[in-house]
């Protein structure tokens, strides 16, 4: 009898160990490389070199779903559900689709208007919905032929990052980066003038902040103003008519009498016209900000952090 009880305890112990190992192995970041490896092997057997972007997205989605299924107890306790805003299956890293893009993810660094890394930016990568990334690839192809590369400052932005901005804007005494990003404004007006809002188009996954990089000079193109400058100088219609692409020098809205040159205005137009031509719409307050006109998630504000999807 004692021997039978001991054997039963050993059996249950082994079963518990197997379950723990399954849960350990079933995390998405462990399943994903295995699934990708299997997909590459299957392609190799078929005589196909590598794996397409579409197939890669499907494999990643399978790994994510199977991980949730295993961790829910193989469905014994119901289907493992995840809120739509936490699901990144339809997102890609920009550099997977636009390999020539240069990344300078400002909110991962401390060089931004807050002066610290922003919540939710775990790695210096740029994410977009696949639809937006494919449209951006068309922009890149056009501008590469003209001697430019795209430089990305920000793309998908999780809601927790927006919440960080809101907390910072409410902390009026914190003006660490004022001299660099809003020297002409009192911080107390940032909410009223809509520089900081509780929701951002970036959080829907199809908005990107970017500029041009000149391959001949190996420098950023001079746009006459820095990314995230709070002021009318950042408006696309500052000193010109962006719809007509005409410079007029009208700088009366600048509180400090700042201006931009015809060349700087023309540089802004090069970026704007290429983005609009390939399906993006511009924002009337920021020359660097564009949203895919036919964005796939117009009502979803995503919450997952910015991190590598590989």
CA distance 304 to 84: 10
CA distance 79 to 303: 21
Residue 302 vs residues 132, 157, 282: alpha-carbon distances, Å: 15, 8, 21
List the structure tokens of 31: 């399943």
Cα atoms in the Cβ-side hemisphere of radius 13 Å centred on 74: 2
List the structure tokens of 260: 């931009």
Catalytic residue among 93, 96, 104, 286: 286
Residue 110 vs residues 41, 119, 181: alpha-carbon distances, Å: 42, 12, 13
CA distance 35 to 33: 5
Catalytic status, residue 286: yes
Closest CA to 258 of 280, 235, 241: 235
In contact, 122 and 160? CB cutoff 8 Å: no
Q: What are the phi and psi torsion angles at 183 (to 5°)?
A: -65, -25
Residues with a known catalytic role: 286
């Amino acid at each position: 009898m004692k021997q039978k009880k001991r054997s039963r305890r050993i059996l249950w112990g082994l079963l518990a160990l197997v379950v723990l190992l399954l849960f350990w192995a079933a995390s998405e970041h462990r399943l994903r490389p295995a699934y990708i490896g299997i997909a590459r092997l299957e392609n190799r057997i078929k005589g196909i070199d590598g794996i397409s972007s579409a197939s890669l997205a499907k494999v990643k989605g399978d790994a994510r779903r199977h991980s949730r299924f295993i961790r829910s107890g193989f469905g014994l306790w119901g289907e493992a559900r995840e809120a739509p805003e936490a699901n990144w299956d339809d997102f890609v890293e920009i550099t997977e689709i636009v390999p020539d893009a240069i990344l300078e993810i400002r909110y991962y660094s401390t060089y931004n208007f807050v002066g610290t890394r922003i919540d939710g930016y775990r790695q210096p990568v740029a994410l977009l919905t696949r639809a937006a990334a494919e449209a951006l690839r068309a922009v890149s192809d056009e501008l590469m032929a003209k001697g430019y590369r795209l430089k990305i400052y920000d793309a998908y932005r999780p809601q927790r990052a927006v919440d960080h901005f809101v907390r910072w804007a409410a902390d009026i005494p914190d003006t660490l980066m004022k001299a660099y990003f809003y020297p002409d404004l009192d911080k107390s007006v940032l909410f009223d003038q809509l520089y900081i809002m509780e929701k951002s188009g970036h959080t829907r996954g199809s908005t990107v902040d970017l500029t041009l990089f000149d391959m001949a000079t190996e420098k950023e193109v001079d746009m006459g103003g820095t990314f995230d400058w709070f002021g009318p100088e950042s408006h696309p219609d500052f000193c010109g008519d962006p719809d007509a692409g005409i410079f007029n020098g009208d700088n009366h809205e600048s509180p400090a009498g700042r201006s931009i040159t015809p060349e700087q205005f023309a540089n802004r137009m090069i970026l704007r016209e290429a983005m609009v031509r390939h399906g993006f719409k511009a924002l009337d307050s920021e020359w660097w900000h564009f949203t895919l006109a036919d964005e796939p998630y117009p009502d979803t504000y995503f919450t997952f952090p910015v991190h590598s999807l590989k």
